[in-house]
């Protein structure tokens, strides 16, 4: 499970970095989304991987660390808001500049 | 537990919410609410400063959960100093926005208060993840403020700014996650204790997390080579927003200083002075390249933006020296450079309004009405920014140069600081003479010849007066900066105040 999760995070990050470096705003937004997925999984894994352990003391023999789950929740909420914002900005940029290049397609 | 610590965080938040609820009020009433909140913020910041000036470290445990389990807000001298600088800057930026700029888009005052909320929170928090949250608050407000007024050039600059900062936030989360995964805590004081006791097999991971964090803060502070977003973003923002953004790079500098002294201070064992080898060279390069940008700028707002880059370079040189005197010099230089840069942003907008189509571009145009007044204000601002005697820029740079006397990088620091001061002087003298002397009597642009209004003059003169006040009361100000530096270099007191009986 550790190897699978590490590979997933690595693959998501690699795809995210590649897409963020693209010139079109759609690819950049997708790249940012991939990166935020990667970081959410990473944060989650920082509480250690375990199966069938509730984050509640006393509910099972051992309990999982609840803090990373709270951190991930915060990160997801913020990431969601930021993605919504950057999509709106990309649309506005497409409307105002007439193209979807991240640099606005050269000087006006 | 004094509630004073959380008051500067809550007041702008409440003001922002009230302004959002009362968004249908006429603009003058909304301005009055916003200005009242800004004045209240100054009062709170002064009270906080008085409360911590004796050397006490005030800790506020949110929900009364003791550290390191709950989130704490911590007010020490450095945090109070930063909150006061922000509050003073914000009042004058807000007054300038009252000249009509706040009508250019919706929710200006709401976003402005939320930005102050994020800034105060970032300075006062004592928790790494909480710092991330406050960073996001101030960033999302700054995205809105940057795009305020609309227009293609703002959207283009905004896109870069937003994407780069989102990448920075991702990196911040990776770093915070790594700290938690390895050390099991996110509280600054607890982190400091555990970093010092890192087992050898985890040293690499903690070092990676620390350097990632430094990268994020360097991006916020616009440290070379991560400064490329700043000139376009600041030059395209409206004047009061650009003036408020003068403190934004200082948030990055503050975070570098905080982590540098508290987490990776001399007590951190093998991880002590983690960023030391990077900070000083990067800061020197930032100053040099920033000043080249000042020389190459084609318009006054762009020049002001590059001056912000250069001032960050100077500030981080002071912090990068790592000595008591260096940090004290930097803390004295910080409010000075913030106020001076903000005054130049406001001035360039006021000048641009009076030059018709030439705006603030460096080319000859018609005479500016009341050129003596605007030229005089520009002169004071330029003297401050170039660091000429007798004003505070000179005192700040002198303190930095003196702090570098015993440092091994002395030739580099002196050489670059003094050479860039000359370049800055040349660039500002050229701008001033182009804007005010090489004009021709012009009868076509009669419509732009309006007289100075109090909404323009009060904030500009106010900011310049603050910088001059820093010159007149340089003694008390530098004494406070020294006391703050002493406190920063004794992280045991901070750790004891936060963790208290928990350990």
CA–CA separation, A44 and B173 (whole Å): 11
Percent of chain B with pLDDT over 90: 52
- Domain membership of residue A9 (yes or no) is yes
CA–CA separation, B62 and B393 (whole Å): 39
Q: pLDDT confidence of A49, banded at 50, 70, 90?
A: confident
Count of the separate structural domains present in chain A: 1
Average pLDDT, chain B: 88
CA–CA separation, B457 and B445 (whole Å): 22
What ipTM score was computed for the predicted complex, to two decimals? Answer: 0.92
> pLDDT (tens digit, 9 = 90+) per residue, B443-473?
555 455 577 788 888 999 999 999 999 999 9
Q: Whose CA is closest to B349, among B380, B374, B385, B312?
A: B374
**H or E stretch including B399?**
helix B392-403
- Cα distance from B178 to chain A (closest Cα, Å)? 7
B129, B160, B162 ranked by CB distance to A71: nearest: B129
Q: Which residues pair with B125 in a beta bridge?
A: B73
Structure tokens at A88: 């709106």
* pLDDT for res B445: 53
Residues of A with CB below 8 A from B166's CB?
32, 82, 86
* Tokens 């933006």 -> residue: B305
Q: Whose CA is closest to B286, among B258, B259, B317?
A: B317
B181 contacts A46? CB cut-off 8 A? yes
B155 contacts A74? CB cut-off 8 A? no
Q: Domain ranges in chain B?
A: 275-472
- Cα distance from A46 to chain B (closest Cα, Å)? 4
* pLDDT for res B502: 46
Q: Which residues pair with A37 in a beta bridge?
A: none
- Domain membership of residue A106 (yes or no) is no
- Domain membership of residue A30 (yes or no) is yes
- Domain membership of residue A35 (yes or no) is yes
- Domain membership of residue A79 (yes or no) is yes
- Domain membership of residue A103 (yes or no) is no
CATH assignment of the domain containing A16: 1.10.287
Q: pLDDT confidence of B501, banded at 50, 70, 90?
A: low
pLDDT of residue B152 exceeding 90: no
**Number of neighbours of residue B210 by Cβ within 10 angstroms:** 23
Signed CA dihedral, B310, B419, B324, B489: sign only: positive
| Burial state string for A83-102 with b = 16 or more CB within 10 A and e = fewer than 16 | beebeebbebbbebbeebbb
Q: Which residues pair with B58 in a beta bridge?
A: B75
Please give the radius of gyration of chain A, using alpha carbons only, rounded to the nearest integer.
18
> pLDDT (tens digit, 9 = 90+) per residue, A75-94?
999 989 999 999 999 998 88
> pLDDT (tens digit, 9 = 90+) per residue, A4-46?
999 999 999 999 999 999 988 899 999 999 999 999 999 988 8
Q: Note whether A104 contacts B: Cβ–Cβ < 8 A.
A: yes
Contacts of residue A51, defined as CB under 8 A and 6 or more positions apart, other chains included, come to none
CA–CA separation, B359 and B349 (whole Å): 8
The answer to which of A94-103, B9-18, B413-422 has the lowest mean pLDDT is A94-103
Q: Which domain holds residue A84?
A: 2-97
Contacts of residue A27, defined as CB under 8 A and 6 or more positions apart, other chains included, come to A19, A20
pLDDT greater at residue B267 or residue B410: B410
A45, A86, A103 ranked by CB distance to B162: nearest: A86
């Amino acid at each position: 499970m550790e190897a699978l999760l590490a590979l997933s995070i690595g693959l998501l990050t690699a795809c995210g970095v590649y897409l963020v470096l693209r010139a079109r705003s759609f690819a950049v937004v997708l790249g940012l989304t991939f990166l935020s997925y990667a970081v959410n999984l990473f944060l989650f894994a920082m509480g250690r991987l375990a199966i069938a352990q509730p984050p509640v003391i006393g509910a099972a023999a051992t309990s999982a660390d609840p803090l990373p789950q709270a951190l991930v929740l915060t990160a997801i909420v913020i990431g969601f808001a930021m993605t919504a914002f950057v999509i709106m900005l990309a649309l506005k940029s497409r409307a105002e500049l007439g193209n979807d290049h991240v640099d606005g397609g050269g000087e006006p | 537990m004094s509630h004073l610590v959380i008051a500067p965080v809550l007041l702008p938040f409440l003001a922002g919410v009230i302004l959002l609820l009362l968004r249908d009020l006429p603009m003058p009433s909304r301005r009055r609410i916003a200005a009242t909140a800004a004045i209240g913020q100054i009062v709170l910041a002064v009270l906080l400063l008085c409360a911590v000036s004796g050397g006490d470290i005030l800790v506020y445990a949110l929900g009364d959960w003791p550290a390191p389990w709950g989130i704490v807000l911590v007010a020490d001298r450095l945090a109070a100093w930063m909150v006061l600088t922000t509050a003073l800057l914000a009042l004058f930026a807000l007054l300038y926005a009252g000249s009509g700029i706040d009508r250019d888009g919706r929710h200006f005052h709401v976003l402005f208060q939320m930005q102050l909320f994020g800034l105060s929170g970032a300075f006062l928090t004592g928790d790494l993840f909480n710092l991330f949250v406050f960073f996001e608050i101030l960033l999302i407000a700054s995205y809105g403020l940057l795009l305020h007024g609309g227009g293609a050039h703002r959207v283009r600059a905004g896109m870069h700014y937003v994407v780069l900062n989102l990448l920075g936030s991702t990196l911040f989360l990776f770093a915070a996650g790594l700290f938690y995964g390895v050390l099991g805590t996110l509280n600054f004081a607890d982190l400091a204790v555990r970093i010092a006791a890192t087992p050898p097999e985890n040293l690499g991971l903690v070092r990676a997390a620390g350097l990632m964090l430094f990268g994020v803060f360097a991006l916020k502070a616009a440290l070379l080579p991560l400064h490329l977003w700043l000139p376009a973003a600041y030059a395209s923002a409206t004047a009061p927003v650009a003036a408020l953004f003068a403190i934004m790079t200082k948030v990055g500098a503050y975070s570098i200083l905080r982590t540098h002294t508290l987490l990776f201070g001399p007590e951190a064992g093998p991880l002590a002075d983690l960023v030391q080898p990077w900070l000083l060279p990067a800061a020197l390069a930032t100053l040099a390249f920033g000043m080249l940008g000042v020389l190459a700028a084609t318009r006054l707002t762009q020049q002001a933006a590059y001056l912000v880059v250069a001032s960050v370079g100077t500030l981080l040189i002071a912090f990068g020296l790592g000595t008591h005197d260096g940090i004290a010099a930097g803390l004295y230089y910080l409010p000075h450079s913030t106020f001076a840069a903000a005054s130049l942003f406001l001035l360039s907008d006021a000048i641009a309004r009076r030059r018709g189509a030439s705006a603030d571009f460096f080319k000859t145009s018609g005479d500016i009405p009341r050129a003596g007044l605007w030229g005089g204000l520009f002169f004071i601002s330029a003297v401050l920014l170039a660091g000429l005697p007798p004003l505070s820029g000179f005192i700040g740079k002198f303190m930095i140069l003196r702090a570098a006397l015993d440092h091994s990088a002395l030739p580099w620091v002196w050489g670059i600081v003094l050479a860039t001061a000359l370049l800055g002087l040349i660039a500002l003298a050229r701008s001033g003479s182009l804007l005010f002397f090489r004009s021709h009597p012009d009868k076509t642009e009669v419509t732009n010849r309006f007289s100075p209004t109090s909404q323009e003059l009060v904030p500009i003169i106010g900011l310049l007066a603050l910088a001059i006040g820093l010159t007149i009361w340089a003694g008390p100000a530098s004494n406070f900066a020294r006391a703050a530096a002493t406190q920063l270099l004794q992280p045991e007191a901070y750790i004891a105040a936060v963790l208290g009986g928990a350990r």
